[in-house]
Amino acid sequence: MLKAPSIRALVVLALLGALFLALPAYVGAYGLKFATRMIILAIFVVSLDFILGLAGLVSFGHAAFFGVGAYAVYFVSSESEAANVFVALGAGVAGAAVAALLIGAFVCLTRGFYFIMVTLAAAQMMFSLFHDTDIAKGSDGAYIMIKPDLTIGATTLIDFDNRTTFYYVCLALLVASVLALFWLARTPFGRIVQGLKANETRLSALGYNVYQFKLAAFVVAGAFAGLAGALFACIDGFVTPELFSWHQSGLAIMMAVLGGAGTLFGPILGVLAYVSLEETLKTASLVGSFVADHWRLGTGATLVVAVLLSPDGLAGFLRGKTVPKKVEPLKDVMPAAAPRKARALATRDLSKSFGGLRAVDGVTADFAPDLVHAIIGPNGAGKTTFTNLLSGAFRPTAGQILVDGENIAGWPAHKIARRGVGRSFQRTNIFATFTVEENARIAAQAETPSVFRLSEGTARENQIAKVAHALSVVGLADRAGAVAGAMSNGEQRQLEIAMLIAGGGGILILDEPLAGMGPEETRRVVELLRDLKSDHTIILIEHDMDAVFAVADTLTVLALGRLIAHGSPDEVRRDEKVISAYLGGHAPAQGKGAPA
């Protein structure tokens, strides 16, 4: 999760700030214009870092919003008088935000490679719209005859035609943009945006509509890119379709990575380094005609070396020494009582087919409240597919899934989670780069998963109590500050259970929670499950039969996707079909002394 810059980084940023504040007194018109261009590009690249570095969304079409912001200034400017500064910049921000909303509505339906391709296609469409039509003078570009200003009565307070004034406005907006995005990243909304990069699947399973959060982050980044575009249009008063080019997006990605993606201040360093390097290598009087003629080779080689020396970008050199923080063990605090969301679970003729394969075939079962229900069966029996159906990861081909009598079959995973059904995964599924406490905090926050939540509000204290209680219950209270991905597999399994407790689910689906655990950890989790069933309905999938028989109140046995037995452990372990299909040595002994 986004941390505050180190002392070393703050010192460097302060020195850069002092340098840029004093710069107009020591450079001419060209130097001032060059510095202004760098500042505006920094706003653009920082906006990209919000979705690239924090949300993990690689957009090759971010220049589309930069271009929309620039052209918005052209559209609100007349040939006879200057547009108001707030109208011009507001039009750039609003226009880019609307474009990001429209494009993002489709883009955010995809992920990974497809996300990259769709953003690239969207930017090229925008390029073609402005290049091939007369909407804004076509391929020749368009001029803004009079630059925006802010005039009250007969007094002009801000005039973008004054390069020094414009420079300081751009510098102030860069600082404001970084601070605003940093603040946003530290809000409940920003916490989930960062969770998108760490583990999108887990967010959905906790009850977050990841589509909405991706779209919101996309729009926020687009709006700030529009601000940068609007300022860029005011440098020379000229806009061109080339502003939409995917090359601009590619350069922005490169500068973000060079500076240190995911830090919000690193991209500023990346812009300063790249633009300065490019300008230096292009100047024959400094590097010679041969290097100047082949400046791209020099730029490429320098960037490769920089990335090899510091994969975390230039910001990586400014990272302070990692000193393990001493975190006091969390004290167990009982959170405020809340109405239970779900109690009983049942399925009716539930089926799932993959082509000609029926992974789950007509399963009907009832899971009464406040009991541990174990689902067992040989490998390939359909157990994980069954739990994926219950949690919304898969849509059933046929049948019903009833939570307290309400059919939730076919609901998306986040909606089922909000209904009170939490799940762990067969393979440990946590936010590996976050701390233990941050993992539980995201789960607790799912109680109010709105995308518009920008402050903790009155729920803060109760969420902290939920986190402390959940971690104390599973035995991780003293590990709250540990990075989750650095813990043992057993501890990560315990963390998953803690997240479900913090999330407030009434029905817990645990897929092999004992996998990879030692005897002591297994004993602890078995005891935990016994305690949890007092106010949770637990569906347990597990291969450790000793643990299953120690904790389960009912057994459901699947084989080849079909239900072959359902009842108490004693009833099931005597079932001949179960003995033949799965139990083997865990069946009761036959012969003298064997129970009838």
In a domain, 398, yes or no: yes
**CB-based contacts of 25, cutoff 8 Å, min separation 6:** none
In a domain, 93, yes or no: yes
Strands 149-152 and 155-159, bridge-based pairing: antiparallel
Are residues 140 and 52 part of one domain? yes
Q: Report which of 163, 137, 178 is spatially closest to residue 44, judged by C-alpha positions.
A: 178
The pLDDT value recorded for residue 585 is 54
- Residues 265, 585: Cα–Cα separation, whole Å: 61
10 Å CB burial of residue 179 (0-12, 13-18, 19+) is exposed
Number of structural domains in the chain: 3
What is the gyration radius of the CA atoms in the chain, in angstroms?
A: 29
The pLDDT value recorded for residue 520 is 83
Q: Report which of 145, 108, 191, 97 is spatially closest to residue 445, judged by C-alpha positions.
A: 191
In a domain, 122, yes or no: yes
**Domain's final residue, options 224, 258, 277:** 277
- Residues 313, 261: Cα–Cα separation, whole Å: 7
The pLDDT value recorded for residue 341 is 75
Cβ atoms of 383 and 558 closer than 8 Å = yes
Are residues 187 and 104 part of one domain? yes
In a domain, 557, yes or no: yes
**Domain's final residue, options 277, 293, 309:** 277
Cβ atoms of 69 and 227 closer than 8 Å = yes
What does the DSSP 8-state code read for residue 457?
G
**CB-based contacts of 311, cutoff 8 Å, min separation 6:** none
**Domain's final residue, options 277, 301, 325:** 277
Are residues 512 and 390 part of one domain? yes
Strands 554-559 and 372-376, bridge-based pairing: parallel
Are residues 411 and 372 part of one domain? yes
Structural domain boundaries, residue 558: 341-420+505-596
The pLDDT value recorded for residue 578 is 79
- Residues 133, 241: Cα–Cα separation, whole Å: 11
Q: Which two tokens stand for residue 508?
A: 């817990």
Cβ atoms of 423 and 205 closer than 8 Å = yes
Are residues 586 and 469 part of one domain? no
The pLDDT value recorded for residue 595 is 39
Instruction: Write the CATH number for 576.
Output: 3.40.50.300
- Rounded mean pLDDT for each run of 10 residues along the chain, 596 residues in total: 89 95 93 95 97 94 95 91 93 96 95 92 93 88 91 87 95 97 95 93 94 96 97 94 91 93 94 91 85 85 84 85 62 68 90 91 92 89 91 94 93 93 89 93 90 82 88 89 89 91 90 83 87 90 87 90 89 80 57 40
Are residues 142 and 64 part of one domain? yes
Are residues 438 and 368 part of one domain? no
Are residues 242 and 157 part of one domain? yes
- Residues 290, 306: Cα–Cα separation, whole Å: 23
The pLDDT value recorded for residue 381 is 86
Give the SS3 label for residue 554. strand
Helix extents (H) in 132-207: 163-185, 188-206
> Roughly how many angstroms between the first and final C-alpha of the chain, as a whole number?
59
Are residues 527 and 493 part of one domain? no
In a domain, 524, yes or no: yes
Strands 562-567 and 554-559, bridge-based pairing: antiparallel
Q: Which amino acid makes up residue 569?
A: P
**∠ CA 194-444-435, rounded to 5°:** 50
In a domain, 44, yes or no: yes
Residue 499 vs residues 36, 192, 276, 347, 475: alpha-carbon distances, Å: 47, 15, 47, 25, 13
